[in-house]
Structure 1
Amino acid sequence: MPSTQPTSVLPIPPPPPRSTLSLGMMFRLRDAKRRWPFAMRAALCMGIPVVAGWALGDTSAGLMATTGAFTALYGSDRPYLNRAYYLALIALAFTIAVSLGVWAQATPWMVVPAVALMAMVATFLCNALRVSPPGAYMFTLACAAGTAIHAPHLTVGHTALLVSAGGAVAWIAHMIGAFFWPRGPERKAVAASAEAVARFIEAIGTPAQDAARHNAAQSMQESWTTLVSFQPPRPRPDGTLSRLRAIGRELNQLFAEAMSATGPLPAAAIDQARGLGTEALSPQPGAERTDPGHVPLGHHGVVDSLRESLAPWSPALLVTARVGVATAVAGTLGAMLGLERAYWCIAAAMLILHQGLDWARTLQRGVERMAGTMVGLLLAGSILALQPGGLWLAVTLMCLQFVIEMIVIRNYALAVVFITAAALTIASGGHPVPDVGHLLWVRGIDTVIGCVVGLGVFALSNPRVATARISAELARTLEAVAATIRHMAKGDVLTAEAREARRDLQHRALTLLGAYDRSAGSSPRYGAEAERMWPAVVTTQRLCYRVLSTCWAMENSDPAATAETTRTLFGPGGERAILAALADLEWAVLHDDRPQQTAPLPAFVATELQNLRDSLVPEST
């Protein structure tokens, strides 16, 4: 039965350090997971189309197909069945992007609008649907490459077939693993969540507790997305997927116990979490585990994600608007200056904006892009001067792609050196470049113009909007808490509607911290204003996880005792008191007002609601 005692008060940890521009970051190597299998696959997918084109006597056609091979950069963490559909859509998107570029190439004045349109559409969809990096940039780059590759003998129809063929190569390379470890992605996801839960248990009672809990919750949500959202609705009851779901349920229960604990858990709980992770990775996890029947939900589906992203002032719409303005300005400037490839200005402007980073990280990305490009032009010039052809061209592109994927997470500025060389090598179409120096000079100017325009648009777009988003997200989170409380008060935590409410609450808890991160990294003035709201962010997250952990504990109650459990938790008038307190807190958040004193509250949320109220009281009072 869930505890009805008030939870202990934890001190508010200091806010995370703000992001700042650091030139030293360009010379450091960050830690990264094992990358060489991914890098090798991407390199092979890049080289195979070039070799095929060379063997058939049309290297430029092979280079055109490499744009479809960029499909290999996506979906590596998805289950294989879902990955098959997902990568097919990614390959189709690349086909559309490149075909649009080739079509626009025939009408010079259409090039800039076509690439800008692709940048905006790709940015919105990739942000709305949480497409992982490299995200929207590669689709814009593919569209730009379609306008640049010298292959006049290829029609739009031929181009579409070639890009689709490159995508098919990447699809096959991605799916080969299904023959050797068919449930590998699911096993890895559960094992990662087990390690995150173990680290949270270790952090209980320390200043790192809130951050560790957030990481564990995020990892658990990713795990359930892999086990539920990316799967058929009814798995085989005695199959591996059902056994992994059962392991995930045990982790959920352990996570709930850890969140409800008033002090550190015994070391056996840490061993239990890591043991479940080891079991998830085992080839034969144990036939006694069967489908648990009801499991948590993962991320929102496509329709819900699009609906949320289409709401006014949503992060996806804000980023798309910035990209739209920046690409239009950059493309117009490039055209006015008579630059031969003004679309590279668009690509550079879009690159530093499409991920929706805060100001400090956007500035860091712009500086790293410009610095890496300048050095990369020297490497590109050397390659173009040597004019590698045939197999040597394939080997060159494979080596460049391998190095890019090995270092892009560790050091972005260094990766840009090789990204620049690869992009210019592909754009050459396998033909000699008449004036290499001129090409490099123009590409450098394009990049600087695009990055400066992108930074300017970001700086001029009202940074106060980012800070105001914290208040909006706090209000939405409190609404999600209220929706979940209404189900709990009925003893209802397992129906489809209740599970969706709990999923939405989990989503809001994670989104809230993302809104804070983007705001704290804005200008010094608004960053300081965001930090003032940090205690409210922390206490609201604690409230969310307190409610969620109580729901998880109620799941394990005897169904016959659910009504008694609910009466014990809420008492007479408890639901009404909680909802009234939440409504008052939401008003205070949205109107920057002082919350009112509320009636006595049920013990299981009394401490969290009082702490949240105290965090909203102005310091001067």
Structure 2
Amino acid sequence: MGKHRKPFGQSWRRGPGSAVRVRPLPVRGALRLRRPSDIWYKAALGALVAMAVPDLTLFALGRLDLVLYTSAGALCALYGHGLPYAARARTLPWVVLGMVASLGVALTAASLTTSTALLVVFAALIAAIHKTVCEATRVGPPGNIILTFVTASAFFVPQRLGQVPSHLALTLGTGILAWLVCMAPALLRPQGPERIVVARALEAAAGLLRTERGADGARPAGAPDAWHATAAAVNAAWHTLYEVPTRTPAKAAARAGLERLLVEAESVLGRAGREVAGEAERAAGWAAGRHDGHQYRHSFDDGFDRAFGQSLDQGFGQDLRRFEAERLGGWARALRGGGPLPEVAQVSSSWQVGEKGEAGGERSGVRRPAPGHPRGVRPVLARLGPGSPLLPIGARVTAGCVLAGWTSMALGVGHPYWAVVTAASIYQANTTLTWQRALQRTLGNLSGLLLYTALLPLIHLGHLAMLGLALACQVGAEAWISRNYWLGSTCVTPLALLLSGFGSQLPARALIADRWIDTVVGAAVGLTCCVVVTNRRAADRIEAALERVAAAENAASRLLAARSAPGAGDMEGADGARETGWARDRLTGCLVELREAVEVASGEWWQRALPEERIDHAQQQGHRTLARLVRRLRAPVAAA
């Protein structure tokens, strides 16, 4: 790979002696709109149904004062939409139980004390726990913010101890409903999540093919990012497919077909220079439509032969890449459309049946994750152990939320938990991202308050109109938040005010004023604490990632050397190919982790200088070796 690109195109200012660097906080790009998430409507519809059923029931019973507790369980329907249904069925109960436990703590504390200052401390501690646990479990969007929003609000709801069990029962019941709603699509498209993640990998590979070389054979500026994006998408797709059970021949065949498509996307990463004549002959066969089952492979490797690159870019080369990019894109569209798998993904009947493998009855026609890869609770505890880079983030959340809540109290605001939620919501992986999220949150809340003001005539029509507006805001938030956080906050703010309106009689003007003051206080105090509480462990994470990349690359190189040695024919069978597949998984995961660690550390405003040369060298060596590994994996069965 090329030199690591500094984020946001900013130069770094080094401190005295170049031991640390001080980096300015950027503004450009914070408000730029992105493409919407490809599955936003799944979370939106799930939350809509899960909220509408209990809320309309409460309306019919005249008990809309209980809407906070039913909404707590219903909002769990926002989680898990990127997971296969088997993994989703296991994950969502933990989300629901986490919501119930957090709400139980909040309601119990509210019933036992009326000290606002103490309740702010409790809410801040719970917010820090939510942040660190969600980051450690990598539960995915919407992360900790939904749990914190509901729990922080509950700390300040008047409560009697005897009411807590019944209120928690409402949350648990609607949480079960949310689980059913999220699992219901499995009846219509049981392969939907895994098809989408493979489609993303195919689209990323097609985008990589479209990053054309210049006339001199040089790589374009965006090639390293495209390479990393494709590697990350392919790696995520493999880990998703590993979560798909293959207990029956039909399920094994369905997963094996998706793996074949994923190997096609992965093959783009494994391209390397070959003889010009051999590639020209194969390209001519492609142009004539006589594809023999072998894939034209390519790599953005520093060892790529320049003359070969020039010959490809002159004449048939660019057309060939465009043709193959369209081919991968067509497969991605077929996967998203829900139709049958493309012909290349079809497997023979003998391969569909397969034999029982070594791991719990899994079929041998599909890949399995590398042995020794920790799963379940152990990796979560490891990410939270001493020295974890998540601990400074938890400290930031605790300090920022406590000070934001207390500042709100000192200003006489009636809803200090809004300041707590604002402070908790802006904390991201580093200072730069936190700064941008604070800008987005402030702008989004301001525009949301303007929207709420415009909706006041409809709100005054009654509770049924309020319910309808709340549901519409929930859908709007999911539709827009993936484009930019500030745009989603435009809907989240009136949603929060509407939910608060069911249990309070405060005039709209007071609600709007409190929300605006708490937003400014929470963002300002939270950002200040983020700057003061520096995350010096971010650079330590890079050192650990470099060590893992080096170990994985060395192991993969030894494996490739052993397979290439004379008399290594016995290693070319299923066992040798399985080892190669596992080496690919380990190395790809380590490279993705290194990239993430560098991006996190690069966004810290006060950090010791990064080992850029070591990072570049590790990436280059890792990508070279990864390309060789990928070229060894010519079919999914090779890694079985």
**TM tier relative to shorter chain:** 0.7 to 0.9
Residues 11-61 of structure 1, C-alpha deviation per residue, up to 9 Å, x if partnerless? 5475453475337854x5432145445434433333322111111221122
The CA distance in 2 between the partners of 1:553 and 1:36, in whole Å, is 37
User: Which residue pairs with 1:546 in the alignment?
Assistant: 624
8 A contact 2:199–2:333 mirrored in 1: yes
1:516 maps to 2:598: yes
8 A contact 1:129–1:306 mirrored in 2: yes
1:241 maps to 2:255: yes
User: Which residue pairs with 2:291 in the alignment?
Assistant: none
1:97 to 72, 95, 102: 102
1:256 to 263, 270, 277: 270
Q: Which aligned pairs between 1:263-282 and structure 2 lie closer than 5 A?
A: 263=309, 266-267=320-321, 269-270=324-325, 273-274=328-329, 276-277=331-332, 280=335
User: Which residue pairs with 1:164 in the alignment?
Assistant: 172
Residues 262-297 of structure 1, C-alpha deviation per residue, up to 9 Å, x if partnerless? 445743654554465466556333353646635264
Residues 369-405 of structure 1, C-alpha deviation per residue, up to 9 Å, x if partnerless? 2233244345446667845544222102111112211
Aligned length: 541
The CA distance in 1 between the partners of 2:612 and 2:37, in whole Å, is 31
Following superposition, the deviation at residue 137 of structure 1 comes to 1.3
The CA distance in 1 between the partners of 2:254 and 2:576, in whole Å, is 23
User: Which residue pairs with 1:594 in the alignment?
Assistant: none
1:309 maps to 2:383: yes
1:31 to 25, 32, 35: 35
Amino acid at match of 2:136: A
8 A contact 1:49–1:63 mirrored in 2: no
User: Which residue pairs with 1:224 in the alignment?
Assistant: 238
Q: Flag the 1:481–1:370 CA change in 2: closer, same or farther, 3 A.
A: same
Following superposition, the deviation at residue 140 of structure 1 comes to 0.9
User: Which residue pairs with 2:402 in the alignment?
Assistant: 328
1:67 maps to 2:72: yes
Q: Which aligned pairs between 1:335-346 and structure 2 lie closer than 5 A?
A: 335=409, 339-346=413-420
8 A contact 1:15–1:534 mirrored in 2: no
Unaligned runs of 5+ in 1: 1-9, 560-621
Q: Which aligned pairs between 1:158-197 and structure 2 lie closer than 5 A?
A: 158-197=166-205
8 A contact 1:18–1:521 mirrored in 2: no
Kindly report the root-mean-square deviation, in angstroms, between the aligned alpha carbons of the 2 structures: 3.5
Following superposition, the deviation at residue 101 of structure 1 comes to 1.7
Residues 511-542 of structure 1, C-alpha deviation per residue, up to 9 Å, x if partnerless? 2222222233333x759x45xx5454343222
The CA distance in 2 between the partners of 1:234 and 1:318, in whole Å, is 43
Q: Which aligned pairs between 1:54-453 and structure 2 lie closer than 5 A?
A: 54-106=59-111, 107-109=113-115, 110-149=118-157, 155-203=163-211, 205=213, 206-207=219-220, 208-228=222-242, 230-232=243-245, 234=247, 236=249, 239-257=253-271, 258-259=298-299, 262=305, 263=309, 266-267=320-321, 269-270=324-325, 273-274=328-329, 276-277=331-332, 280=335, 283-285=339-341, 286-288=346-348, 290=352, 293=365, 295=367, 297=369, 301-303=375-377, 305-335=379-409, 339-353=413-427, 355-356=428-429, 358-380=430-452, 386-387=459-460, 389-428=462-501, 430-431=502-503, 433-453=505-525
8 A contact 1:330–1:349 mirrored in 2: yes
Q: Percent identity?
A: 26
The CA distance in 2 between the partners of 1:274 and 1:369, in whole Å, is 35
Q: Which aligned pairs between 1:599-610 and structure 2 lie closer than 5 A?
A: none
Residues 99-121 of structure 1, C-alpha deviation per residue, up to 9 Å, x if partnerless? 22211211224522332222122
The CA distance in 2 between the partners of 1:138 and 1:227, in whole Å, is 28
Amino acid at match of 1:407: W
Amino acid at match of 1:347: V
Following superposition, the deviation at residue 139 of structure 1 comes to 0.7
The CA distance in 1 between the partners of 2:481 and 2:381, in whole Å, is 32
The CA distance in 1 between the partners of 2:578 and 2:167, in whole Å, is 46
The CA distance in 1 between the partners of 2:587 and 2:29, in whole Å, is 39
Q: Flag the 1:276–1:381 CA change in 2: closer, same or farther, 3 A.
A: closer
8 A contact 2:256–2:365 mirrored in 1: no
Q: Flag the 1:50–1:152 CA change in 2: closer, same or farther, 3 A.
A: farther
The range that moved more, 329-338 or 452-461, is 329-338
User: Which residue pairs with 1:600 in the alignment?
Assistant: none
Q: Flag the 1:284–1:550 CA change in 2: closer, same or farther, 3 A.
A: same
1:50 maps to 2:55: yes
The CA distance in 2 between the partners of 1:327 and 1:480, in whole Å, is 40
The CA distance in 2 between the partners of 1:502 and 1:52, in whole Å, is 52
Question: Given the two structures, how large is their TM-score scaled by the length of structure 2?
Answer: 0.75
The CA distance in 1 between the partners of 2:66 and 2:533, in whole Å, is 42
The CA distance in 2 between the partners of 1:423 and 1:494, in whole Å, is 56
Question: Given the two structures, how large is their TM-score scaled by the length of structure 1?
Answer: 0.77
The CA distance in 1 between the partners of 2:368 and 2:114, in whole Å, is 52
Following superposition, the deviation at residue 247 of structure 1 comes to 3.0
User: Which residue pairs with 2:293 in the alignment?
Assistant: none
Amino acid at match of 2:182: H
Q: Flag the 1:133–1:497 CA change in 2: closer, same or farther, 3 A.
A: same
- Does the residue aligned with 1:239 lie in a helix, a strand or coil? helix
- Does the residue aligned with 1:182 lie in a helix, a strand or coil? coil
Residues 576-605 of structure 1, C-alpha deviation per residue, up to 9 Å, x if partnerless? xxxxxxxxxxxxxxxxxxxxxxxxxxxxxx
8 A contact 2:246–2:255 mirrored in 1: no
- Does the residue aligned with 1:77 lie in a helix, a strand or coil? coil
The CA distance in 2 between the partners of 1:314 and 1:153, in whole Å, is 37
- Does the residue aligned with 2:439 lie in a helix, a strand or coil? helix
Amino acid at match of 1:521: G
The range that moved more, 451-460 or 314-323, is 314-323
